Amino acid sequence: MNELIKSKGIKIESDSAMKLGMSLPRCLIVLVVTLVGSAVSALELTGALSQGSLLIGRVAPGSTVELMNHQIRVEADGLFVFGLGRDAPSKITLLTVDGREGNQELHEFSVAQREYREQRVNGVPQKTVTPPNEVLERIRQEAVLVKQARSGDGHYRDFLRGFQKPLKGPITGVYGSRRVYNGKPGSPHYGLDIAAPKGTDVFAPAPGVVTLVHRDMFYSGGTLIVDHGHGISSTFIHLSDVVAENGQRVEAGDLIARVGATGRATGPHLDWRINWFNVRLDPELVLKYFPASAE
């Protein structure tokens, strides 16, 4: 961090996370240090430069940041957050504008492109594979509710506390896989599936505020959303019971729900999703790069 490179937009990469392929990138902090005249501006990113990844950035206080021409909210101290979706492109750009001098810097980063497997899921209720016409309006309305619950841009920073698994159990489904339900190709899987008996306690993986409680959504069954700030949210689905209440603040480790098999599911398991607004992130990458610090 104290090593300054006298050049424009030099990227210092602490690891070879740009490697492609199945293996996930290892720990990465990208530090971009630029000397413009005598003023020093710096862009720091923590996280994996990979599809499905959460990234936490810092710039000089007062700076602005655009990701691919979209303005991202930057806190007064320079903190900002963004996520890379399942199919994020192989190159992204961040434009930073220094608040005092107005100097612009365009930073380009390579994003590791992942390969996703196919998973065949047989035995889900057939109506959840080919939904009858009379439920299409219900499905649309529920999607709006979920979108609203993930749209908050709270100034709180609960995500900085890190994340822990919401329960223990074998992983039976991963992020990004192409799904074939009862023989029919469906949308990809975005959650981390953890198998556990019906009724098993689900604990908050990080602090946050509950923004949605719904006991019976068509696809996701019992559904709970917790907002961790800056558009980062956790969604828990197929629940048999939701313990937390809408609007409630929860702390990491609080009991929030119970495992079920409601909605499009073949058996009891928790499906845990993490979003940056509507961009779906990989919970395993978030756990790996932003683990809750040991108490």
Enumerate binding residues for Zn ion (CB under 5 A).
Answer: 173, 191, 193, 271
CB of 270 to Zn ion, least distance (A): 8
CB of 272 to Zn ion, least distance (A): 9
Residue 106, token pair as written in the block: 């365009």
Phi-psi region of 180 (alpha: psi -120 to 50; beta: other; left: phi over 0): beta
CA distances from 174 to 86, 178, 241, 281 (A): 12, 10, 23, 11
- Residue 25 or 166 having the CB closest to Zn ion: 166
- Residue 173 or 188 having the CB closest to Zn ion: 173
Residue 35, token pair as written in the block: 């000397």
Residues 1, 98: Cα–Cα separation, whole Å: 19
- Using CB positions, name the residue nearest to Zn ion: 271
CB of 189 to Zn ion, least distance (A): 6
CB of 191 to Zn ion, least distance (A): 4
Q: What is the largest CA-CA distance in the chain?
A: 66
Is residue 157 within 8 A of residue 290, CB to CB? The reply is no
- Residue 142 or 271 having the CB closest to Zn ion: 271
Rg (CA), the chain: 20
- Residue 108 or 118 having the CB closest to Zn ion: 118
The DSSP code sequence of 114-149 is: P---EEEE--S-GGGTS--GGGHHHHHHHHHHHHHH
CB of 102 to Zn ion, least distance (A): 47
Helix locations, 33-186, DSSP H: 136-149
CB of 237 to Zn ion, least distance (A): 7
CB of 190 to Zn ion, least distance (A): 8
Residue 150, token pair as written in the block: 């993930």
- Residue 271 or 282 having the CB closest to Zn ion: 271
Is residue 207 within 8 A of residue 228, CB to CB? The reply is yes
Helix (H, G, I), strand (E, B) or coil at 186: coil
- Residue 158 or 193 having the CB closest to Zn ion: 193
- Residue 261 or 292 having the CB closest to Zn ion: 261
Helix locations, the chain, DSSP H: 136-149, 283-289
